[in-house]
Chains A and B, each alone.
Chain A
Amino acid sequence: MKPSFRRLVLAAAVSLAVNTFAPVPGLAQTQTASKSDQWIHVRVESKDDGGETVRVNVPVDMAVKVLPAIKHQPLHDGKVRIENSHMDDVDLRTILEAVRSSKDGEYVTVEGHDDDVRVAKSGGYLYIHVTEKNKAEKAAKEPEGKEGHAKPARSKESKVEVKVPMKVVDALLSAGKDELDIVAALHALSSNGDTELVTVKDDENTVRIWVDSKNVSD
């Protein structure tokens, strides 16, 4: 074997070894990106005759980019404007502010005629539990439909359970009065890891909203 050819073979072998064992920047970047990719999943399951199921999976990063582009009231620049009238007799913002400044385990309880609201803080998470009472009673009181039949009174109670990391709450409230900063909240959410956010259960529907790193729902 000629010395020049031997040098060439040696150089090729070294080059192959370096390329095989050295980290590939593009690949490393992809793996990091996919690891940090978080998805918001929404699943709605209806228990009526049609058995409707809705599954939505949206990358958090995509939502962060797309939301500011939507300009449709009450959403603008990634923020949602809350009208006080929509909150009935519960001032959500005041409750959240109170909980934010309070210690773990302290909570606010609102016992209304129609709803019970419980807000608690524990381990860096905010828990909101809402129980709507007398749903059957309310449904029976509703005016008759077009067909002249009253709505059947199926549900007695519906439960809403919300679990939100406190840093997401802080981000949500960072927009100012009567506004919730959804984009800031999504940024905070994406850094939090897998989280079960909302569960709503009643006799008719089950709604679940959660965040994880899978690009499909369960």
Chain B
Amino acid sequence: MVLLAKVGIGIGATLCLTAGWVFHEGVIRVDVDEAKPDGAHVHFWVPATTVSAGMRLTPRHYLRQAAEQSRPFLPVLREVAKELRKYPDAELLDVRDSQNHVTMVVRDGRLYLDAVTDADNVHISFPTETLRDVADGLEEASPGI
């Protein structure tokens, strides 16, 4: 009985540690709702760790190809990712007219991109660290770009 309890505690602790590690970078949240009848509704949450882990697991040549394609934007992405960490709370962009409203906000270290239009509503949020992970991953895959 005591042995079973010890095994249970061990499994529980391992699960807690694993969950803690998986979610330690936060989550990427995507919500897309099309306003038309029978429109698509996409809602999912993904641990941000999957991005950094995924970049390590992706075959090198795919990453190199992605780095070459994003070459003009990579230095900008890298700098923006680095700088955004310094501004955990900021309202960067707000564009609105009578039918559309687009915002880009950093709150508690997360970047929120929201677009509410007549056609659809899109809400995307992710930790600003994720941007840096992507920039670092692409840079590692193709140094010198």
Contact = CB atoms under 8 A, between A and B. Distances in A.
A192 interface: no
B76 A69 contact: yes
B89 A66 contact: no
Interface stretch (A53-61, A80-88, A162-170): A53-61
B95 A50 contact: no
The contact size tier of chain B is 20 to 34
B87 interface: yes
A65 B91 contact: no
A66 B79 contact: yes
A28 B3 CA distance: 52
A114 interface: no
* Chain B contact residues: helix, strand, loop or mixed: mixed
B143 interface: no
Interface stretch (B35-43, B57-65, B96-104): B96-104
A152 B75 CA distance: 44
Given A215-B89, A216-B91, A50 B98 contact: yes
Contact of B91 (A49, A57, A66): A57
B53 to A, nearest CB: 27
B97 A50 contact: yes
B80 A66 contact: yes
Interface in B72-90: 72, 75-76, 78-80, 82-84, 86-87, 89-90
B95 A52 contact: yes
A53 B80 contact: no
Given A69-B78, A215-B87, A54 B94 contact: yes
Interface string A69-103: 11110000000000000000000000000000000
Interface string B99-132: 1000000000000000000000000000000000
Contacts, number: 61
A62 B87 contact: yes
A58 B90 CA distance: 9
B92 interface: yes
B93 interface: yes
Given A52-B95, A53-B94, A53-B97, A59 B82 contact: no
Contacts of A58: 92
A52 B79 CA distance: 30
B76 A70 contact: yes
Contacts of B83: 59, 61-62, 65-66
Contact of B97 (A51, A56, A215): A51
B97 A52 contact: yes
B90 A53 contact: no
Nearest to B101: A53
B78 A56 contact: no
Contacts of B91: 55, 57, 215-217
Contacts of B80: 62, 66
Contacts of A216: 90-91
A71 B86 contact: no
Interface of A: 46, 49-59, 61-62, 65-66, 69-72, 215-217
Given A51-B98, A61-B83, 10 more contacts: A50-B98, A53-B97, A55-B91, A55-B95, A56-B92, A57-B91, A58-B92, A62-B84, A65-B82, A217-B91
